[in-house]
A and B are shown apart, each in its own frame.
Chain A
């Protein structure tokens, strides 16, 4: 593992490379001219639901989104998250 001192600022802030690259990609998509912008943004919609298992028992599907939503505010601006059946988080 890379030592923390050398890590880039985004990893120090708790992001992974995937998060970082997604934020970058989404910012680029947001700066496109029409119609390319709408096309690119509508292509990349996110929806899935997650169930964590602890000792073989499924937990509530909603809980696992919190941390992830926090650190992904920007690139999730066009994202709809479905958590099982109860929560629909729409951010900004």
Chain B
């Protein structure tokens, strides 16, 4: 996480300051040695963050095209069913999407914060809200305060490149293991390398869709559609709702993976920039100390010679 690097760099800065304070005029080799060690470690950190930035950039390039390709998938469902964030149902399931790995800025904590707020929003008397967590990082955060509400946690999604079959198998597993009236999928939508928008997509259960269609509910428009195929309307709606969930979840996972790489890239970029700045300052200190010690030595020699002469 970027915070970790922040702390790391802070410690370095602090010790550097200390080391500057502690340079007495006479002491030579020891103080330069300390600064040289610091410089080495900062240089190494910079190398690592630079490499991580490059890796993130190339991963981002790959996944960005695929995320963009998947954007067509959810739009038909939103066009048909709209998005219904304020729908009032009993059983809410919050699907929080996060990353497995850290060092990617604040996207995971944003997702968790939003999920917690949705939890507060949807909770009430005889209502039930559960969490389904994708990715290690949200699990770590949510397990602290909402342990009881977690039903399933899924990790290691990105072992192979993300694809629809995988996400739909996952969606299938979720559907089989939780009871829901509404699924709230929380993820970070990828906008650009520096901007990720916390987003919530709502998928309603077939029963709720049917309820909202009738009598001026939120989906009153659905009534005007003719439904082809299947024996009953309920059956088609059930298939539709399941399919919608897997499609929406697929895009959400793609967008979040894309945001993750983008966030990691910019976090690593700023880390390597910080390390560079620090390196500059350290070099300055180092040179100054060296200069000072040379000057002191010269003065000593000259004054010693002068003392001998006189």
Contacts and interface: CB of A to CB of B under 8 A. Distances in A.
Chains A and B directly touch (beta carbon < 8 Å): yes
B165 interface: yes
Given A3-B232, A51-B153, A44 B173 contact: no
A22 B103 CA distance: 34
B137 to A, nearest CB: 14
A21 B169 CA distance: 11
B157 interface: yes
Contacts of A75: 165
Interface in B142-158: 147-148, 150-157
| Most chain B C-beta atoms within 10 Å of own C-beta, residue among A3, A51, A67 | A51
Contact of B152 (A16, A50, A56, A67): A50
Interface string A24-52: 01100000000000000001111111111
A22 to B, nearest CB: 6
Contacts, number: 116
Contacts of B243: 17-18, 21
A82 B157 CA distance: 10
Looking at chain B's contact residues, is the secondary structure mostly helix, strand, loop, or mixed? helix
A44 B157 CA distance: 13
Contact of A18 (B154, B163, B175): B175
Interface residues of B, number: 39
Contact of A64 (B147, B160, B173): B173
B172 interface: yes
Interface string B159-187: 11101111011111101110000000000
Given A17-B243, A45-B163, A46-B166, A64 B156 contact: no
27 contacts: A1-B206, A2-B230, A2-B234, A2-B235, A6-B235, A8-B230, A11-B235, A16-B172, A18-B245, A19-B172, A21-B168, A25-B165, A45-B165, A45-B166, A48-B156, A48-B157, A48-B170, A51-B152, A52-B153, A53-B150, A53-B152, A56-B147, A56-B150, A68-B172, A68-B176, A79-B165, A79-B169
